[in-house]
Structure 1
Amino acid sequence: MPPQLHLSAIAVELGDAVPLADVAGDPELAAQLPALAEGGMAHCRVSGRPVTDLAAAAARAALAVAGDPAVDSVVYATDSPYEQTATKDLWQLLTAAGLPQAPGVVVGGSASANLAPALRTAHGLLAAERSEAVLLVTADRITDTTRYQPVGVTVLSDGAAACLVGPEPRGPGYRLLASATVVRADATEVSNSIKAASLVKTGVTRARAELDRRLADPGRPFRHLVTGNYSLATRTFLARLCGLDLTANHAPDVAGTGHAFSVDLLAGLADLQERKLVDPGDRVLVLATSPRSWSMLAFEYTEG
């Protein structure tokens, strides 16, 4: 039987907050300022540091929160263009995080939903190598493209987040109950909003059905839904597809942060914990989405 997966010691590192109107050299973003403001966006996070520096800062902070435990492996999730190669980026991260001898693996290919494959990889390491502590790090930084993201009507931000994953709880955190992912790699980009919404609806609905099939108690309700920092209309739509209303959605500081890829999801879980909005036994549903994949992660909050 595979080991349980517990997630704890979440730490977040973001770029500097910049008003959207002050973002330079991005005419596509400038043209969408009214739509972004209507969706609740006011700032994005911009960093001049390499993405590996952001990742290392989050990693060091997570390790400090956890009491600097021994780390068996590192899973690094990113969808940013590599500054050199995946291997050299990983080496830079491990060295800067103070873990130059830790085995590491790079995970990507799911854009803002990279948290899901990163957790699957970490879970596999716990099972295959009987690891006690896997450091999961996700980081992304925009370098040569617009920050405007039409899918979700949002603005992309630079940032990183890290957490410790293990078979036993290490203080307050979340236990993974089940997960499910639906992929449509063959889907084509469409400008028609109705067709785009239909694709999302099919993906999320199928993922929720598969998640319920895998949950031991699918009828037990979720207290919170954590999503990426998308526009208000997008988050309302996603909440309804998940069978919840917007009051259950937790996407902290949409206006001040923008959408920092998978960082949003770990930041949302950390914020629930820090603001004491979860009690032991509460279920939290995390929806990780990209234009061609939809993942659902069911967690239960524990005090360790």
Structure 2
Amino acid sequence: MRLGPVGTFVPHTALTVADVTAGAGLPDAKARFYRDYLGFRDIPRSTGHSLADMLTAAGREALRGTDPREIRQVLFARIGEEVGPAEGPSQGPAGADPTGAGPAGAQLLDGVRTALGLDHAPAFAVGQMNCAAGLFALFLAGQLLTPDTGGSALLLTGDRVARPERGVIPGIAVVADAAAACVVGPRVPGDLLLGSAFRTYGRFYRSLGGQDPEREREYTRFYAPALAAVIQEALEEAGTGLDGVRWIVPHNVNRLSWKGVAKELGIPFSQIFLDNLPLLGHANCADPYLNLASLRASGRLAPGDRYVLATVGLGATFGAVVLQREGGQGGRGSEGGRDGEL
């Protein structure tokens, strides 16, 4: 399984952290906390683009140079935000589809497929793992596409903040509008998937928002060791260790959390690619792909370099995927990783 071209769409307009926290009804001190301690600065927000527009733009960029007839599947990863009138062809009431998987969500995805010339390709959405759904969709693509079946898949990720109060994940992140897309498949020119691991710990389904303060405190202690462990598990499947990894390519949850993970892994904090965190905020499922696109463009991934895409979805699912940059000698490879405690 290989991960090929990545397309992105980030709105040109952005809010400050203070704008976002004020819109969410939070005091000024919270803006300083998210900016000075967690590392957020500019938060892209769309003023004239629907989610369908964003996904279509990212998809077009990813598909450049690819024959659309080669695409056999379309996978759409997003969190459970509303699909309202501005999001796609559906003109139903805002909030009518809280999961993005019902009629409004289906119409959105159908509209994007048509715009990209992919009406022939079956499509489905993945969202039950929240922000980990983007990487899990990559794992699923590896199960759907084999060297025998041929063809490739288009993976779409993206979200648009539906209401001001949803622009902040309390104590964790400031949320942005953005989308990313990538072409994946066993014969796609691109980076080789070497291993993956996912673990879901359902006892943390109420780990935020004050619903269960004791469980929330447990989750805070559990987070860094659990993410480090799933990264190590993916590396084990890939047949390599941290000494063979050039970069950890993360979700943009916050700077402090990743310092804890770096300490657990015993690696320099500088090995985690966080250049985009102050510029893009947290774009939910799209983060690892947005960061990978930036890392590729920067020239800091050499042929043969191994790297890890890593993320966590509230609920709580921890996921990691190990890849090797195109042009190097591959490891033993993998058609997909193992599930964990599901």
TM-score by length of 1: 0.88
Please list the CA deviations of residues 248-285 of structure 1 after superposition, one character each: whole Å capped at 9, or x if unmatched: 01022221211101211011111121111011111101
Aligned-partner SS, 2:70: coil
- Contact 2:74–2:123 (CA under 8 A) maintained in structure 1: yes
Aligned-partner SS, 1:302: coil
Provide the C-alpha distance between the structure 1 equivalents of 2:242 and 2:260, rounded to a whole number of angstroms: 22
- Contact 2:232–2:241 (CA under 8 A) maintained in structure 1: no
- Between the two proteins, the alignment pairs up a number of residues equal to 297
- 1:78 equivalent in structure 2: 78
Corresponding letter in the other structure for 1:296: A
Give the RMSD, CA atoms, in angstroms.
Answer: 2.4
State the shift of 1:81 in Å: 2.5
- 1:264 equivalent in structure 2: 287
Corresponding letter in the other structure for 2:239: A
- 1:163 equivalent in structure 2: 182
Mind listing any 5+ residue stretches in structure 1 that lack a counterpart?
none
Corresponding letter in the other structure for 1:182: R
Corresponding letter in the other structure for 1:76: F
- Given candidates 196, 200, 214, the residue that maps to 1:179 is 196
Aligned-partner SS, 2:321: strand
Identity %: 24
- 1:40 equivalent in structure 2: 39
Provide the C-alpha distance between the structure 2 equivalents of 1:288 and 1:210, rounded to a whole number of angstroms: 14
Please list the CA deviations of residues 101-152 of structure 1 after superposition, one character each: whole Å capped at 9, or x if unmatched: 221111111222112221122111203971321111111111033311135x
- Contact 1:175–1:302 (CA under 8 A) maintained in structure 2: yes
- Contact 2:231–2:308 (CA under 8 A) maintained in structure 1: no
- Contact 1:28–1:148 (CA under 8 A) maintained in structure 2: no
Please list the CA deviations of residues 213-264 of structure 1 after superposition, one character each: whole Å capped at 9, or x if unmatched: 3222346521101111232212211222334221101022221211101211
Aligned-partner SS, 2:227: helix
- Given candidates 2, 13, 21, the residue that maps to 2:9 is 13
Provide the C-alpha distance between the structure 2 equivalents of 1:256 and 1:69, rounded to a whole number of angstroms: 36
- 2:323 equivalent in structure 1: 299
TM-score by length of 2: 0.79
Provide the C-alpha distance between the structure 2 equivalents of 1:42 and 1:288, rounded to a whole number of angstroms: 21
Mind listing any 5+ residue stretches in structure 2 that lack a counterpart?
85-96, 329-342
Provide the C-alpha distance between the structure 2 equivalents of 1:123 and 1:267, rounded to a whole number of angstroms: 20
TM alignment of 1:102-181, pairs within 5 A: 102-127=121-146, 130-144=149-163, 145-150=165-170, 153-170=172-189, 173-181=190-198
Provide the C-alpha distance between the structure 1 equivalents of 2:69 and 2:301, rounded to a whole number of angstroms: 26
Corresponding letter in the other structure for 2:17: L
Corresponding letter in the other structure for 2:77: A
- Contact 1:44–1:257 (CA under 8 A) maintained in structure 2: yes
**CA pair 200-56 structure 1, distance change in 2 beyond 3 A:** same
State the shift of 1:164 in Å: 0.5
Residue 226 of structure 2 is aligned to residue 229 of structure 1: no
Corresponding letter in the other structure for 1:18: L
Aligned-partner SS, 1:273: helix
- Given candidates 107, 111, 114, the residue that maps to 1:88 is 107
- Contact 2:235–2:322 (CA under 8 A) maintained in structure 1: no
Provide the C-alpha distance between the structure 1 equivalents of 2:25 and 2:34, rounded to a whole number of angstroms: 14
- Contact 2:73–2:153 (CA under 8 A) maintained in structure 1: yes
- Contact 2:131–2:284 (CA under 8 A) maintained in structure 1: yes
State the shift of 1:14 in Å: 1.6
